[in-house]
Amino acid sequence: MKAPIYDQGFETIDSTAGQYRRVGMHTGRSTDRPDEIFSLVLAKKAGIQNPELRNIQLYYLVGVSTLGIDDIEVKQIFYYPEFLYVADIGLERLAGLRIQYKVSHPVPDVPSLGDPDFPDFENVDLVSLENRDDTTILYPDIAGSLLVTFKSHIELDEAQERLSNHLSDVRPLVPSLNIFHGYGGYFEEDVLKQEIEDSVADIKGVQMDRVMRDRKWNPVWTVSRIL
């Protein structure tokens, strides 16, 4: 069977370090299987080496808006369609690779029919899912991304100190509401949330950082399983 041809392909340099490089600009050829791609991205973005990948599935997500123009209903796509790989990696939650299909418009007034960089696995988003329900597929959580709210005002250095055993890169998100953002506990976020609430002083609550979708054009989002 011939290898699939993509606009850009990637070749493994060091699978343990999760590094990969472009092997061709617009003419690259990739033979990487979904499990290989998963392993590379998980190593690079979450520091997870040699995951136990099982039951990989691929979903297509698209939001279609219906507009009334001169008494005629017209269907239009205003938001980038997405492809989402989902896999069981042997941890508490499922792992997902979220890839947007971005139609380019390099020349004014000239229609473009595709994304010249698709699939760009260097810019993939890593998401965390409780299950494979359509709602969860459509609104996954951003992997390892947690929002921590303190009961009272706290300075950044103090928040970083209190959370140092649990989260990295702690930053203020909404200072007026004492909300901070940090990373940790990839695909075991629920366990980490409970640990923070049980062990860190003056914690009001910990939440996952969920993917949000713009509803401006009232799109009807659908989820279709491809693989």
Maximum average pLDDT range among 29-43, 94-108, 122-136: 122-136
Spatial neighbors of 99 by CB under 8 A, at least 6 apart, are 82, 83, 84, 85, 118, 119, 120, 121, 124, 125
Q: Give the architecture-level CATH label for domain 142-210.
A: 2-Layer Sandwich (3.30)
Report d(CA 163, CA 147) in Å as an integer.
12
The model's confidence at residue 218, banded by pLDDT at 50, 70 and 90, is: confident
* C-alpha distance from residue 89 to each of 77, 81, 182 (Å): 33, 25, 23
Report whether pLDDT(194) > 60. Answer: yes
Report d(CA 192, CA 188) in Å as an integer.
7
Q: Would you state the pLDDT for residue 48?
A: 94
Q: Would you state the pLDDT for residue 129?
A: 98
**Residue ranges covered by each domain of the chain:** 8-140+212-225, 142-210
| DSSP state, residue 29 | B
Report whether pLDDT(185) > 70. Answer: yes
